[in-house]
A and B are shown apart, each in its own frame.
Chain A
Amino acid sequence: MLESFGIGLQAIATPLGILIILLGTIVGIVFGAVPGLSATTAIVLCLPLTYKMSSINGMALLISLFIGGISGGLVSAILTRIPGTPSSVATTWDGYPMTQKGEGIKALGIGIAASFFGTIFSIIVLIIAAPSLARVAIQFGAYEYFAVAVFSITMMASLSEKSMSKGLISGLLGCMFATVGMDPVGSTKRYTLGIRSMMSGFNILPVLVGLFAVCEIISYIGKARDSKGFETVEVNMSGVKGMGFTLREFWGQKWNLLRSAVIGCIIGILPGIGASTSNVMAYTVAKKSSKHPEKFGTGIIDGIVASEAANNASIGGAMVPLLALGIPGDSVTALLLGGLTMKGITAGPLLFVQNVDLVYSIFIAMVIASVLMLLIEFYGLRVFAKLLSLPKYYMLPVIFLFCIIGAYGVHNNIFDVWTVLVFGAVGFLFSKLDIPASPFILGFIIGPLAEANLRRGLMLSKGSFIPFLQSPIAIVFFVLAIISVAASTYSNYRKKNA
């Protein structure tokens, strides 16, 4: 293995290679930070640039865009409550409240550190265990995926503390909206209203932009007239040293970091589920495991640590099935697979034999990109603080403009921009009726996964539910789901009777 590392290091550690990784990380962070743009968009745009590059440099560019893009989402999530990417949704829940308390720099600092830890942890897992972990992931069939989806859906109960029925309604509405379009198994049209653009359903990016960005803007318009000085957030940098948090605070998060990174890795390894799910899952688990769950959502570092460690750990996890089996873990790794195919390289077990230098160059490029991400975001902290001092009546409309560009850019279709408006209205209605929006997002993402695998499983078992309960992996997830619902119900019951 050391010899292979040496070969990889020799291949990537050239001035051009390092420059490519640096530029890729910066562009990735910018795309991740701007709501509406994402790591996927950055990779799609830079894929043509890799035509003329060598395989190693091309993959290094794409990987560094991936790492920068996932990590960059925390900037807007913390500063404006608008997640830069779907993988930073959970970061808004504690990140923005910390900004409102004047602890925005601390929130950014701890988020950056957690992102770095999550990425490095998942790279170590990737290097040590890629082939073995891929063999486990390949055993996941329809029954197991359905069980994972059911377990994820039970998280809705935990995300809706004030009123479980409202949370479930929100989550089920998310599942309902996700059914719009073509049926994933039978290919029949559902709820398309005769509109051709609706046949592919609603894309997650415009939904997210509408639910968070439009809702935030409209809510701000409602409060702005009577605001006295809350249009900017005062950030006092004078007492801030380093990344804004102490070593003691960071050490206090060690178990949270480790647990969230493991969750992110596992979610990342499973094909079809990615960082957009892992951050919410890790946040919910952190909340349930905490001695003070009532503090989550009020602005504590635990929530940010869980979300950011998990979403970045999904990066290494998603690379496991890609490199070891040639199966992409999520949409971004699907593009990376495209990048490999363009170079005439076949991902899979033979990659570790025939292209050792490429594989280990990818590992080293990931480490270098993670370190550069940490340094760029650390030195950018002061710049991010300056952004906070911009009045919101200048900043929010500009952010909205980029959100619209991002939404339009999904399919170059005005339908996606209408989607932003519709879900903006939905989000605003939710905020007025005190219905949580987070279960909606979870339902929107997980609903199709649950439905497709339930129906595939029933087709395989000829309509019988028994095989779902015969798979050991599925049983584990069903039991976890029951425990999760029971624990949330008991916790709510105790609170009401306290």
Chain B
Amino acid sequence: MPRLYGIVMLLCAVVQLVTGIRQYRKDRKTEDEPVDSNVKRSRLLSSRNVALGFLVIFLYVFFMKSLGFCISSTIMLICLSNLMLPSTVDRKKAQPIIILIAIVLPILAYLFFKKVVFMALPGGPFLNDII
């Protein structure tokens, strides 16, 4: 069955390739407008932030078992919230709320899921001994 899926996907890929080449030849005839340097800088920053976002999530999952759910989630929430802050928002004013949510929410979630729902999230090196 996977072989059948692969063969059909190959056929679709050939169709897509032909369509793509035709579209490229059509687009090549129209001249590209020069890109503004501010737009270039903005795109670069956006790509950097996307890469950072993936890195934060990757590290969060990687360290979840060793650091525990609470610590890793706190760090993740602080990093992701800061990555999502628009340039129009005052970062210093937003930090106290971000840090408060990042510390309180994972602890509450951990306690709720452990004590009420009986679902044990990774406790890490400290929490399993305390609770």
Expressed in whole angstroms, the minimum distance between the Cβ of A223 and any Cβ of chain B is 7
**Which residue from chain A places its CB closest to the CB of B116 in the assembled complex?**
A45
- Contact check, A190 vs B77: say whether CB atoms are below 8 A apart: no
- Contact check, A397 vs B2: say whether CB atoms are below 8 A apart: no
In the complex, which of the residues B12, B53, B77 contacts A172, with contact meaning CB atoms closer than 8 Å? B12
Q: Total A-B residue pairs with C-beta atoms closer than 8 Å? A: 137
A451 within 8 A of B: yes
Known contacts A226-B42, A414-B64, A421-B58; A168 and B2 CB within 8 A of each other: no
Known contacts A175-B5, A405-B121; A392 and B84 CB within 8 A of each other: yes
In the complex, which residues 82-131 of chain B have their Cβ closer than 8 Å to any Cβ of chain A? Answer: 83-89, 94, 97-98, 101, 105-106, 109, 113, 117-122
Point out the residues of chain B lying under 8 angstroms from A221, CB to CB: 49-50, 52-53, 80, 83-84
Point out the residues of chain A lying under 8 angstroms from B46, CB to CB: 222-223, 225-226
**Which residue from chain B places its CB closest to the CB of A167 in the assembled complex?**
B12
In the complex, which of the residues A217, A391, A401, A424 contacts B109, with contact meaning CB atoms closer than 8 Å? A401
B8 within 8 A of A: yes
Known contacts A45-B117, A176-B5; A229 and B84 CB within 8 A of each other: no
In the complex, which residues 281-340 of chain A have their Cβ closer than 8 Å to any Cβ of chain B? Answer: none
Interface size class of A (residues with CB under 8 A): 35 or more
Point out the residues of chain A lying under 8 angstroms from B61, CB to CB: 414, 417-418, 420-421
- Contact check, A165 vs B19: say whether CB atoms are below 8 A apart: yes
**Which residue from chain A places its CB closest to the CB of B14 in the assembled complex?**
A165
A409 within 8 A of B: yes
Q: Given the complex of chains A and B, what is the CA–CA distance between A421 and B60 in angstroms? A: 10
> Which of A220, A225, A392, A420 has the largest number of chain B CB atoms within 10 A?
A225
**Which residue from chain A places its CB closest to the CB of B120 in the assembled complex?**
A412
- Contact check, B80 vs A408: say whether CB atoms are below 8 A apart: no
In the complex, which of the residues A45, A165, A218, A229 contacts B53, with contact meaning CB atoms closer than 8 Å? A218
How many positions in chain B have a CB within 8 Å of any CB in the partner chain?
Answer: 52
In the complex, which of the residues A396, A398, A404, A425 contacts B54, with contact meaning CB atoms closer than 8 Å? A425
Expressed in whole angstroms, the minimum distance between the Cβ of B108 and any Cβ of chain A is 11
Point out the residues of chain B lying under 8 angstroms from A173, CB to CB: 9
- Contact check, A398 vs B105: say whether CB atoms are below 8 A apart: yes
B76 within 8 A of A: yes
- Contact check, B87 vs A401: say whether CB atoms are below 8 A apart: no
- Contact check, A225 vs B45: say whether CB atoms are below 8 A apart: yes
- Contact check, B54 vs A393: say whether CB atoms are below 8 A apart: no
Point out the residues of chain B lying under 8 angstroms from A393, CB to CB: 81, 84-86, 89, 94, 98
Known contacts A166-B16, A176-B2, A225-B46; A408 and B121 CB within 8 A of each other: yes
Point out the residues of chain A lying under 8 angstroms from B117, CB to CB: 45
In the complex, which of the residues A176, A225, A397, A428 contacts B49, with contact meaning CB atoms closer than 8 Å? A225
**Which residues of A are interface residues toward B (Cβ below 8 A)?**
45, 163, 165-166, 168-169, 172-173, 175-176, 179, 190-191, 214, 217-218, 220-229, 231, 391-394, 396-398, 400-402, 404-405, 408-409, 412, 414, 417-418, 420-421, 424-425, 428, 447, 451, 454-455
Q: What 10 pairs between A and B have smallest CB-CB spacing? A: A393-B84, A221-B53, A397-B80, A165-B15, A227-B86, A165-B16, A165-B12, A222-B50, A224-B84, A172-B9
CB<8 Å pairs between A and B, sample of 17: A45-B117, A168-B8, A173-B9, A191-B2, A214-B57, A218-B53, A222-B47, A225-B45, A226-B87, A227-B88, A396-B80, A401-B73, A404-B60, A404-B73, A414-B64, A420-B61, A455-B1
**Which residues of B are interface residues toward A (Cβ below 8 A)?**
1-2, 5-6, 8-9, 12-13, 15-16, 19, 42, 45-47, 49-50, 52-54, 57-58, 60-61, 64-65, 73, 76-77, 80-81, 83-89, 94, 97-98, 101, 105-106, 109, 113, 117-122
Sample of 9 further A-B pairs with CB below 8 A, known A225-B87, A414-B61, A417-B61: A165-B15, A165-B19, A168-B9, A176-B6, A179-B1, A221-B53, A400-B80, A404-B60, A451-B1
